[in-house]
Structure 1
Amino acid sequence: MRSAAVTADGDRIRWAELPGRDPVRVYVHGLGATSPAYFAATAAHPLLAGHRSLLVDLLGHGHSDRPVSFAYTLEDHADALAAALRAAEVTGAEVVAHSMGGSVAIVLAARHPDLVSRLVLVDANLDPLRPEPGAAGSSGIAAYTEEEFVTAGWREVRDRAGAHWWSTMRLAGLEALHRSAVHLVRGTAPTMRELLLQLPLPRTYLLPEADAPLPGTAELTAAGVAVRPVPDCGHNIMLDNPEAFARAVAGALAD
């Protein structure tokens, strides 16, 4: 486990690091998750092993610090991640990022282009959403005010999330979880999709085959984004079908 201070107050991002050759690979988790739990098997898969790999926990999540003073916008997450990567002497990384982590990775590539050489987005959020009371995921969390969520709403979210997601979600700071969800639902300006279309680097978008076609596929493909369905999985592709996921990531990184 390694770490770096990423804010003026000294708050630290932490990551599990596997040694190996360049290019460095950076794995970034989604909302309420943690990269070592979601990506360890992927990074160690025979098709992907051997590269220096950083399994990063975003600020407010997993093993990283959970400052209440941090705003947790997508831009803030991206800048904090950039500070950690610079401290780790990483440039030109191949970034594999899931869900909210994919949104952060898009912003990272747009704001800090020297740090990213390739993106593999895993069922990532590309568009703003509407807060929706009772919904699963970020929309449901964002439907609470921060006070409502921190006081009691998190218990309702826990019960909706189920034991598996809660096992990592419970590691996140309550303020961090709520603010991250609010800003993920709100999105960026330009939107994450618009930023992705403009990025001048190899980009692949993986999604569950059952959810295909991805809205806007034609526009993404025309801009050079490879859109690839993965069979027999839900949103957590790397956990639901680890073999197919590893093969899809390896193929994306080889293109």
Structure 2
Amino acid sequence: MAAVIGAALFIAYAWQPTPVEYDSPYLARVQSQYAETPVARFHYTQTGQGAPVVLVAGGGQWIYSYRHLIPVLAERHTVYAVDLPGQGYTTLNDAAFGYDLDAMAGALGSFMDAVGLRRASVVGHSWGGSWSMYFAQRHPDRVDRLVLIGSTGLDVPSSPDWRPLEYPVIGELVGKLMRESDAATMQRKAFANPVPDEVVAENWAPMSHPENREAMWTLQRNLDFAVTQELMPRMTTPTFILWGGADRFDDPRQAADMAGRIPGATYQVLPGCGHNTHEDCPAQANPLIAGFLQG
């Protein structure tokens, strides 16, 4: 028993998994850019011309998740898709980064400052939605319009899939011992439609990095959505909430609940679409997002 406990503690707090080696076809197709700040070296892409829009991916994902939406929005907008700390190919410079709402919203602001954006519309998915929402709550003068896709932010229990990450040692073991097959299971649960192998591989490559694994369990422990829920009635940013009717992580009824708390917010639930609505049902979802941002 002592040996088992010792091995568990060693894996949880000393051992680091080796990232997978993967030549991303998506990175080969896009022009990656980097913005150096005291917080992080932000990986991002900039596409199109027009009123600026910043895209923030969900937990365990990166800008790849917006591959269908970027070209649609780029017809009328300058689109900045960014990996925040713990996502994709962004790397931290701040060793004391907190991985909570203040830190993630602050990171979004730092990125916008670094690329010269005083104000922009923001689109956020899942955890990325709550970080974007909190940024709009704290800095309403910096957000023109806000789109929340299957977004966290209500003070409700998280999906049972994520709860093991909340416990010390157990969360570290789950995160560090996660394999591509485990990540594939979670990704496929986020879709109602079949998920190509390339989607799994593109997401697993950055997720396999130790820094991104650690962010996953740290965020699960630190994100306090009682804060975002309390601030919802004071929001002034025009907000559109989009949800998949077949979301298996977060109850689609949260769309109406959230919209009812945010003054003037509108919402739509798309039947037959999963948690990653913008990826799962791009033909239905992305025109709705583009239309709202158009005003």
Q: What residue identity is the alignment partner of 2:177? A: R
Match of 1:76?
A: 103
Indicate if the aligned counterparts of 1:204 and 1:225 stay in contact, CA closer than 8 A: yes
Root-mean-square deviation (Å)? 2.6
Indicate if the aligned counterparts of 2:164 and 2:170 stay in contact, CA closer than 8 A: no
Q: TM-score, normalised by structure 2?
A: 0.72
Match of 1:139?
A: 163
Indicate if the aligned counterparts of 1:129 and 1:139 stay in contact, CA closer than 8 A: no
- The aligned runs of 1:36-51 (5 Å cut-off) are 37-45=64-72, 49-51=75-77
Matched, 1:55 2:81: yes
Q: How far is the alpha carbon of 1:53 from its aligned partner?
A: 0.6
Match of 2:17?
A: none
Indicate if the aligned counterparts of 1:92 and 1:116 stay in contact, CA closer than 8 A: yes
Q: How far is the alpha carbon of 1:162 from its aligned partner?
A: 1.9
Instruction: Provide the rounded CA distance (Å) in 1 between the counterparts of 2:59 and 2:207.
Output: 8
Matched, 1:225 2:256: no
Specify the SS of the correspondent of 2:216.
Answer: helix
Q: Which moved more, 1:211-220 or 1:172-181?
A: 211-220
Indicate if the aligned counterparts of 1:149 and 1:174 stay in contact, CA closer than 8 A: no
| Rg larger in structure | 2
- Structure 1 pair 156/2, CA: closer, same or farther in 2 (3 Å)? closer
Matched, 1:207 2:253: no
- Structure 1 pair 170/201, CA: closer, same or farther in 2 (3 Å)? same
Indicate if the aligned counterparts of 1:66 and 1:176 stay in contact, CA closer than 8 A: no
Q: TM-score, normalised by structure 1?
A: 0.83
- The aligned runs of 1:179-198 (5 Å cut-off) are 179-184=218-223, 186-189=224-227, 192-198=228-234
Match of 2:114?
A: 87
Q: How far is the alpha carbon of 1:6 from its aligned partner?
A: 3.7
Q: How many residues align structurally?
A: 242
Indicate if the aligned counterparts of 2:47 and 2:74 stay in contact, CA closer than 8 A: no
Instruction: Provide the rounded CA distance (Å) in 2 between the counterparts of 1:127 and 1:157.
Output: 30
Q: How far is the alpha carbon of 1:130 from its aligned partner?
A: 4.2
Match of 2:127?
A: 100
- Structure 1 pair 253/61, CA: closer, same or farther in 2 (3 Å)? same
Indicate if the aligned counterparts of 1:204 and 1:227 stay in contact, CA closer than 8 A: yes
Specify the SS of the correspondent of 1:60.
Answer: coil
Unaligned runs of 5+ residues in structure 2 are 1-31, 186-199
